[in-house]
Chains A and B, each alone.
Chain A
Amino acid sequence: MFDFFFIIEKLILISAVLGITLFIAAYSTLAERKLAAFFQDRIGPDRAGPFGLLQPLADGLKFLFKEAIIPAKADRFLFVLGPSLSMLAACMACAVIPWGPDLMLFGRTVALQITDLSVGLLYLFGLVSFGVYGVMIGGWASNNKYSLLSTIRASSQMISYELAMGLSLIALVLTTGTLSIREIVLGQPGWHWNILAQPLGFMIFIVCAFAETNRVPFDLPECETELVGGYHTEYSGMQLGFYLFAEYINMFISSAVMTCLYFGGFQMPFIASLGLPQNVVALFGVVFFFVKILMFLFLFIWIRWTLPRFRYDQLMRLGWTGLIPLAIINLLATAVFQLCN
């Protein structure tokens, strides 16, 4: 079935979603610097544009116009492939996120979601694993001892926390009965958010989300006091920009995922009782969804400038002997609770 309008609709949606994702990721770098300045009683960037609002643009252009140095001993192909894969994995994750309720435009029902995969959770889970390759390939290809150390640290950290993440998601699947993210969101109308059914699962998930995005207190791959710069020590120019940018996109996407899975996504309490037209409800839903995402982004930044980082053995101990047994207990307890009801 070839539907011309369907293709046009999806093309517009994909450009809008990619544009918004890149825009928010760019501005969360500015938010990070501004908030860091606020927490440390400084002013922060204020030169480019009013209140430094053009700073992300200036940074992006500077990354673009700088020389992309490839070290003489590096594997040239893999060196460029690494950051590209990181960026690819980060951007692909926005496909399954439902950004709002259906819109009615020109007599067509327009879903504000690029595609509603029936295995949305597994798709996200796969992309998380895929993201490890970007870091691993780039760090290994640099042929720098610090990059190598950082890379093996990063990959073992990411795979360790992926286990607890997968286990906490199974408990969520037990309560929702579906792997489609849209159906998970639709299953929590009003205030019936999944966080109320899965508080422990959410705690495990958010800790794993911090570890997977390499954010403080789990930013050992970028531990500059021990490893110069981390896995991107040898990178410069836009290739470095891709690594840094992919981290912010991952932050944005994981905030969106946490909102969808545990905080009702675009579901807004009391909106159904107002009797508004469907399109207005949809727009309110989108705005409310983004408000929740921005609160999670603030949490990411707030924690970064509040907590120190773990030591490597503490990190591994927390992941393997703390979170995984906790997630298994949560899983079995959820199953018993659900079966008793």
Chain B
Amino acid sequence: MFTVYFPLLMLLGAVLLFVVATMALTHLVGPKRASVHKHEAFECGIPSQGDARTPFSVQYFVIAILFVLFDVEIIFLYPWAMEFRSLGWTGFFEVALFTSVVCLGFFYIYRHRLFSFKK
């Protein structure tokens, strides 16, 4: 455990040090000149209108939900892939059954045009 995970912690430490040191250094050596217009949100040169904390298309949210669903299903397949040889054809048919249920759900979503971003 030690020899496997300790180097990972060391790398995390080294990378954190690099990131924090660079951010601190650029904060120290860079100039700081405040101005009202410079600190406005950039909108192609015209005065910025309102705030960006606005609602956006629900389609992106649907994609995020679908991602969670399908990603969990993919993670379920990894243990099978590791024990693939010992499980043999029985394991394969069980996974094929599982995958066909997933595909049915996939087809249902496809027919409801949830992947189609075209209006």
A320 in contact with B115 (CB, 8 Å): yes
**B101 interface residue, CB < 8 Å from A?**
no
Q: Does A280 interact with chain B (Cβ within 8 Å)?
A: no
**Residues of B30-58 whose CB lies within 8 A of A:** 30-33, 36, 38-44, 48, 51-54, 56
Contacting pair A87 B19 (CB below 8 A): yes
Complex interface residues of chain A between 301 and 341 (CB less than 8 A to chain B): 312-313, 316-317, 320-321, 324-325, 328, 331-332, 335-336, 338-339
How many chain A residues have a CB neighbour from B under 8 Å? Answer: 80
B67 within 8 A of A: yes
Q: Are A321 and B56 in contact (CB under 8 A)?
A: no
Give chain B interface residues in 60-99, CB to chain A under 8 Å.
Answer: 60, 63-64, 67, 70-71, 74-75, 77-78, 81-82, 84-85, 88-89, 92, 95-96, 99
Residues of A within 8 A of B89 (CB): 339
Name the one of A88, A316, A320 contacting B15, with C-beta atoms under 8 angstroms. Answer: A88
Q: Is A29 an interface residue (CB 8 A)?
A: no
Tell me if A63 and B26 are in contact (CB < 8 A). yes
Q: How many A-B pairs fall under 8 Å by CB?
A: 200
Please tell me if the beta carbons of B60 and A147 are within 8 angstroms of each other in the complex: no
Tell me whether A145 and B10 are in contact (CB under 8 A): no
Binary B-proximity of A89-128 (CB < 8 A = 1, otherwise 0): 0011011000000000000000000111110001000000
**What is the distance, in angstroms, from B10's C-beta to the closest C-beta of chain A?**
6
Quick check: B42 and A233 within 8 Å, CB to CB? yes
From known contacts A87-B19, A313-B116, infer whether A159 and B63 are also in contact, taking CB-CB under 8 Å.
yes
Select one of B10, B18, B64, B118 contacting A91, CB under 8 A: B18
Contact B41 A142 (CB under 8 A): yes
Q: Does B32 lie within 8 Å of A144, measured CB to CB?
A: no
Report the bound CA distance from A184 to B54 in whole Å: 47
Asked whether A143 and B26 contact (CB < 8 A) given A167-B74, A173-B81, the answer is no
Contact A170 B78 (CB under 8 A): yes
**Cross-chain contact B84 with A174 (CB below 8 angstroms):** yes
Q: Does A43 contact B (CB under 8 A)?
A: no
Given contacts A68-B30, A88-B16, A91-B15, A122 and B115 within 8 Å (CB-CB): no
A271 to B44 CA separation, bound complex (whole angstroms):
58
- The interface bits of chain A over 164-201 (1 if a CB of B lies within 8 angstroms of the residue's CB, else 0) are 00110010011001110000000000000000000000
Measured in the bound complex, the distance between the Cα atoms of B3 and A188 in whole Å is: 25
B68 smallest CB distance to A (angstroms): 9
Instruction: Say if the beta carbon of B12 comes within 8 Å of chain A.
Output: yes
Q: Are A163 and B74 in contact (CB under 8 A)?
A: yes
Do the beta carbons of B10 and A11 come within 8 Å of each other?
yes
Q: Name the contact of A152 in the complex, choosing from B3, B30, B60, B77 (C-beta under 8 A).
A: B60
Partner of A313, one of B26, B31, B117: B117
Min CB–CB distance B95 → chain A (angstroms): 7
Does any Cβ of A come within 8 Å of B110's Cβ?
A: yes
Check A313 against B118 for contact (C-beta < 8 Å).
yes
Mask of B1-37 contacts with A, CB within 8 angstroms, 1/0: 0111111101110111011101101110111110010
In Å, the complex CA distance between A316 and B25 comes to 40
CB distance from B30 to the nearest CB of A (A): 5
Chain A 116-160: CB-based contact to B (< 8 A → 1; otherwise 0): 111000100000000000000000001111111100110110011
A residues sitting closer than 8 Å to B (CB atoms) are: 1, 6-7, 10-11, 13-15, 18, 63-73, 80, 84, 87-88, 91-92, 94-95, 114-118, 122, 142-149, 152-153, 155-156, 159-160, 162-163, 166-167, 170, 173-174, 177-179, 228, 233-234, 237-239, 242, 312-313, 316-317, 320-321, 324-325, 328, 331-332, 335-336, 338-339
Which of B's residues lie within 8 Å of A, judged by CB?
2-8, 10-12, 14-16, 18-20, 22-23, 25-27, 29-33, 36, 38-44, 48, 51-54, 56, 60, 63-64, 67, 70-71, 74-75, 77-78, 81-82, 84-85, 88-89, 92, 95-96, 99, 103, 106, 110, 115-118
Of the A-B pairs whose beta carbons lie under 8 Å apart in the complex, a sample of 5, sorted by A's number, is A71-B40, A88-B19, A145-B54, A173-B82, A325-B103
